[in-house]
Every structure is written in C-alpha cells, then in structure tokens.
Structure 1
C-alpha cells in the first residue's frame, strides 16, 4: 500500500465516482466495495472512507441536513467539486477514464442498468458511448441519493425504479447529468411526473392534478391520488433544486 498522504488526480476521480454513486450510509471502511476499491487504487480502506466523508463536507445537500462530515477537505477536493458542477458531462467521462486506467470492474451497487428512452446523441457512435456513460452516472447518482427507494412510495425494487429528470434534458441539456435535477421514482410515478399528472409542491409534498382525478378509477386513486399532500422521502445528498421543481410546477404540471 502507498504510504504517502497526497492523492493523485486519478485516485480522487475514483473517490468522487464512489461518492456520487454510493449511499451516504455505506461510506465506511468496512464496506466491501470501499475495501476493494482502496486496494485497486493503492490506498487504505480508512483513507478512502475518510476521503468520501471529506467530500461530503463540501456537499451543500449534506451540510444543509446538519451533517458536516470531516473537516479535512483539501484544496484539490474543493477544486474538483467545482469542476464537477461546471460540466458534469465532462467530469463523468473523466471519472470513467480513471476507472479504465485502473481497470476497475463495475460497482456492485445492486442497481440494474435501465437507461432513459430519450436519445441524447444522434448517430455518432463515440457520442453514444459517451452519453451512455453519462446516463449510467446520472441513474446511479440519483438512486444512491435516495437509498435506492422511490421518493413517493418507498418502493425498493431497483428493476422498477427510474432516475427521473425534473427539468427534461431536452429543455436544459446543461443539467441533464445533474443529480439535483433528478428524483428516484417508480416507473408508474415517473410517467405520471413526466406527464404532469403529479408534481412536488414547495413544501416537498405531492400534488396531484385535479384534471385526472376520477371516483371510478380505483387503481389511480390508490396508486397516485392517495399520495396527495404526503411528503416525499428526502435524499441523503443531491437534494432537488428549488428552481428545477418550480419549473416543473409551472411548466409541466397540469393545473
């Protein structure tokens, strides 16, 4: 194992990749994934776990919940956080390149890889491959933030979960990989959210459009209308941004 304290840029990219795609509660030195990745990148499990918690200390979503993490975030940690915010597409691909450099296998996060039907790319195969990396990053980041559960129903079967965009990627391509532009939803509620049948109110409760309510549709009433006014399960990181939710209420929700 390396004895030096300084982290290389590629090692930090692996740490950021883990931070984005691993539930906050699993960022500890006894996690088998952290042990495996630490060995591959030549760090100790303790050092890698500490790095993840240091990254958490500069995550506004973590800080806002009162969890401050450790206080050892380096200047490079902060610079990389800003780099990730400025261009998530490029940063996701840098992380993938670091994974390839270390020849790291896929994360075993029990998240089935289901991709959005939307085509981000056109016909260029290189761009398609790049887009697929981004879609994988977005899905894993969003699902990990919500601990692999639908934020409306609590459904925990990942085969039935979707990383749903709040502002559609076709409207705002700059935030199509931003996990704070995502909600973890069941397939049914993802479709309802996308069509504007339901939305998230300013107080983080669910609003269902009166346009679609019907006393005769028992399934709709039990599966969707029953959640009217109920709070969503809030994520552990990457909280949905108020501006994104406001856009959905004003431009997509069927009032």
Structure 2
C-alpha cells in the first residue's frame, strides 16, 4: 500500500467515489476495471484502494446486501455520513458529485474502455467540452445511475443498445422536484416504452409486473399489440441497485396510467 492509499479520503474524493458507485454496475466495482484504474490515477490512489472504497460503499446499500451480495465491511464514518447525505438530497448530491468528477477528469485523457456508458457519454477528456449547468449535470447523473443499475438493458424488453435507452422518470419530472434525480424514481426503458410509460399506456403494478392500457384506438392496432400488449403481466427485470420505489410506482398507476384516469 502506498502512502497515498493511507491518507484519509477528502470530501471531494468521496464525492467522486460515491458518484462512480452510483454510475457503475455492481459487477464492475473491481480494480481491473479500466474505469476504476483511470479514476484511481486521477485521484492519486491505487486501483485497489478505489475498488475497496467502492465495495465499502456497497456494504451500505440495502439493495445490494439484502440480495446476499456483500461489499467489504470497512465503511468509515465519513462514508456513512455521505450515504445519508446522498439519500436525503439527491438533487444536491448529483450536482456535487458530477462537478467533482468533472473537476478531476477535464484535463485527463479519455478512458481506454467505457463500455458501461452510452456512446454519447464516453468522452472524459477536456477537449471542447462546454460548461455544464447544474441541471445538465444532474440529468447526466440520473441517466447514468439508472441505466447502469439495469446493466444498460430495457427492463421490459431486454433491449441492450444504449443509444436507444432512456432513463425514464416514474413520477414525472414536473410533479416532484425533490425526486427528479433520485435513481429509485427511474426505470431503464427503450425509447418507445419510455414514451408509452410517460403517456400512461403502460405502468408497473405492485408485483413489479407490466400493465398495459386498453384504452383508446391503440388497443386494436397490430403494432400496439406486438410492442406493448405482449408484455402484459410480465415482470420487469430488476436492477442491481436503486430498485424502483413502490410509492413512486403507485403514483404513476394513479396519476399517469390511462386506465386509472
């Protein structure tokens, strides 16, 4: 272990680590991951040290521990405080963590491999990147956190083409400002199913199964049947982290789903 590995983690470094944890699939929180190597170098730490921090963070995540998966058990008091801070104010955390990541990444070379990011998000260099607004940083965080939790697959169809996937809000953006950037208010959906979900043609019931509206002319349309009705009663694929909050799903069923209006 190097001297840099023994020093205490600063708040800035923790914001980077927690941001990376939120935006990486659980199975990639290891020292051999090129993304872990890349950011470890930027932080002046070893890949093993950053991977250890990420797995310590995982030990605080009920979505991970309740499924039998385990992180390390060395989470610090500072880790626990940031976990609570993150859960209590996703909007602030998303902006601060993205700003921390950008601040160390802007002058660095691109990652050698970033297959867990959508194509338009794979550039970490500082070349001609415009100044991002807080809102833009938050939206980027939400997209990456939600899609990585579902391993970049649509939770209904299994589509695994990142450019065709949307981090869809369960409670619409306009209806709940405090949870706009909460990853538990998101589902990974294909562009078509995101639109159908947003307009209330589909929803997810209390058993995490798809319900499809039969209201309107769409129900008699062949494509509607093939693209939507065929998934009636099918359980969505569950994410590794940030499972959809039942309160948000209940809101969608009551206030968005067409058959409830």
Q: Report the TM-score, using the length of structure 2 for normalisation.
A: 0.87
Cα pair 1:213 1:221 within 8 Å, conserved = no
Per-residue CA deviation, residues 179-231 of structure 1 (Å, 9 max, x unaligned), is 00000000100011111111001111101112147674221111110000011
CA distance in 1: counterparts of 2:165 and 2:136, whole angstroms:
18
Cα pair 1:54 1:71 within 8 Å, conserved = yes
Q: Aligned residue for 1:111?
A: 118
2:160 corresponds to which of 151, 156, 161: 156
Q: In structure 2, the residue corresponding to 1:250 is in which secondary structure?
A: helix
CA distance in 1: counterparts of 2:167 and 2:219, whole angstroms:
30
Q: Report the TM-score, using the length of structure 1 for normalisation.
A: 0.89
Q: Aligned residue for 1:121?
A: none
Q: Aligned residue for 1:52?
A: 54
Could you tell me which runs of 5 or more consecutive residues in structure 2 were left unpaired when the two chains were aligned.
Answer: 122-130
Q: Aligned residue for 1:195?
A: 199
CA RMSD after TM alignment? 2.0
Q: How many residues align?
A: 244
Alignment map for 1:73-112 (pairs within 5 Å): 73-104=75-106, 108=114, 109-112=116-119
Could you tell me which runs of 5 or more consecutive residues in structure 1 were left unpaired when the two chains were aligned.
Answer: 115-125
Q: Aligned residue for 1:70?
A: 72
1:174 corresponds to which of 169, 178, 185: 178
- Which segment is superposed worse, 53-62 or 100-109? 100-109
Cα pair 1:113 1:136 within 8 Å, conserved = no
How far apart are 1:89 and its partner, in Å? 1.9
Per-residue CA deviation, residues 130-183 of structure 1 (Å, 9 max, x unaligned), is 100000000000000000000000001111100000001211000000000000
Q: In structure 1, the residue corresponding to 2:6 is in which secondary structure?
A: coil
Cα pair 1:21 1:137 within 8 Å, conserved = yes
- Which segment is superposed worse, 216-225 or 156-165? 216-225
Q: Aligned residue for 1:138?
A: 142
CA distance in 2: counterparts of 1:228 and 1:199, whole angstroms:
10
Cα pair 2:213 2:219 within 8 Å, conserved = no
